[in-house]
Amino acid sequence: MNFNLSYLNRTPNKHERTEPAHLVGIVLHETAGFGTLEWNLKPDVKASFNYLILQNGAIYHYVDEQAFIAWHAGIRSVWTINGVRYSGADFNDQFVGIEVEGANNGTPITTAQRDSLIALLQHLNQTYGIPLDVEHCPEHSQIAPGYKSDAQGFSNAVILELATKTINRDVLPDVTVIGGEPMITVTQFIASMQRHKAPLSVIEMERVYRLAMWLQIEPSFLIALWKHEGGSPFGSSELQQQTFNPLNIKAPATEWRTIVQSNGAAFYWYESFQLGLFAGVLHLKNHYGARGLTTVREIIPVFAPSSDGNNGEAYIQSVLEDIAYIKNR
């Protein structure tokens, strides 16, 4: 799973772990304001969190939960899991803190935030084995009733139900996405791109579709990859606004046409999203098709390896679902 790491561990509002982390739960917060990334860098705030989800769905890893203890729950917090009572500092030590940026006044969080929160919860479930239920994933107001009011922009019960339904969904059959017959028309391709507010003109979308057809790359596969790599609206992630690289194709750090992240990861930079999609089509053809990798299940483990923090099966299922959805629209 891809996180923005530009603020990772910069806040002074944390302390170093002296023993290996033993994480048993997740506390869900809403910020009650905006500008959170900078606000929580101030020492006098005396609060932080492990992850932050912005309104555009971007997920920031803010404090590494394995190396540090974030300060996201106070001394008034009390909760019980399977008969074990947790209070005060237990929450910072043993619970991952997720903040969703919002007004905390009842205004619903954005669809992009909801989808990112579901994906993040599934990632933490896979990484730490934390069950996705209300007992293990309370809202801040549930562990500190009368003292904290968040989260008012979403219900943890609803979010967790969606997250577990997605985990327990039926496994879809694999499909050929390189070298096969096209599954969608140019009209379907353009309509799907427009639903995700892709920053391309209709003519540019048609050009991308024609190139994909010529090189036998399934057009709906491009859309599914862009959605997974950059969220929706297309091109709105902080990284892609710099790189115009819809598939987040990585590059050698020495390559001149790159954007290098604070964690050392380098991504190709293109002059427009149209050119970025052209490059994506060529990348799929030359790096996967040429090696005999032609189906979703063959491509994704190489395209999005688990070593980069990806949940391979969830990624595959998401792509297969998106392809099926686009095809049937």
Do 153 and 100 reside in the same domain of the chain?
yes
Question: Does residue 173 form part of some domain?
Answer: no
Q: Are residues 247 and 314 in the same domain?
A: yes
Query: What's the domain range around 38?
Result: 14-167
Contacts of 313 (CB under 8 A, 6+ apart): none
Please report which helix (H) or strand (E) contains residue 108, including its range.
none
Together in a domain, 99 and 209: no
Number of structural domains (the chain) is 2
> Quick check: is 297 in a domain?
yes
Residue at 177 is within a domain:
no
Average pLDDT for residues 263-286, to the nearest whole number? Answer: 92
Q: Determine the 3-state secondary structure of 97 from DSSP.
A: strand
Nearest C-alpha neighbor of 57 from the set 253, 230, 311: 230
Task: Judge whether 1 lies within some domain.
Answer: no
Q: Is residue 157 pLDDT above 70, yes or no? A: yes
- pLDDT over threshold 90, residue 310: no
- For residue 175, the SS3 value is coil
Whether residue 309 is predicted with pLDDT greater than 80 in this model: the reply is: no
CB 162 within 8 A of CB 118: yes
Give residue 169's pLDDT: 52
Residue 322 lies in a domain: yes
* Alpha-carbon torsion angle 134, 135, 139, 142, nearest 10: 120
Query: Quick one: 145 and 198 in the same domain?
Result: no
Banded model confidence at residue 266, pLDDT cuts 50, 70, 90: confident
198 and 61 part of one domain: no
Instruction: For 105-139, write each residue's pLDDT tens digit.
Output: 988 888 889 989 999 999 999 899 999 999 999 99
Domain for residue 2, yes or no?
Answer: no
User: Is residue 84 in a domain?
Assistant: yes
What CATH number is attached to the domain comprising 264? 1.10.530.10
236 and 294: one domain?
yes
pTM: 0.55
Mean pLDDT, residues 278-289: 97
The DSSP 8-state label assigned to residue 109 in this structure reads: P
Statement to judge: residues 40 and 72 lie in one domain: yes
Q: Same domain, yes or no, for 192 and 301?
A: yes
* Residue 179 domain flag: no
Task: Among 167, 194, 226, identify where a domain stops.
Answer: 167
Residue 270 backbone zone (phi > 0: left; psi -120 to 50: alpha; other: beta):
beta
Do 296 and 154 reside in the same domain of the chain?
no
What does the pLDDT read at residue 2?
A: 84
Cis upstream peptide for 151 (omega within 30°): yes
pLDDT at site 166? 60
Spatial CB neighbours of 325, under 8 Å, sequence gap ≥ 6 = none
Q: Does one domain contain both 140 and 216?
A: no
Token pair for 188? 């379907």
* Claim to verify: residue 135 and residue 207 sit in the same structural domain: no
Residue 233 has a pLDDT of: 82
Which one of 167, 197, 212 terminates a domain?
A: 167
Of 12 and 308, which is predicted with more confidence?
A: 12
- List the CATH number of the domain containing 157: 3.40.80.10
Could you tell me if 56 and 156 lie in one domain?
A: yes
Q: What residues contact 178, with CB distance under 8 A and at least 6 apart? A: 216, 217, 218, 284, 285, 288, 289, 293, 294, 299
Label residue 263 by pLDDT band (50, 70, 90).
low
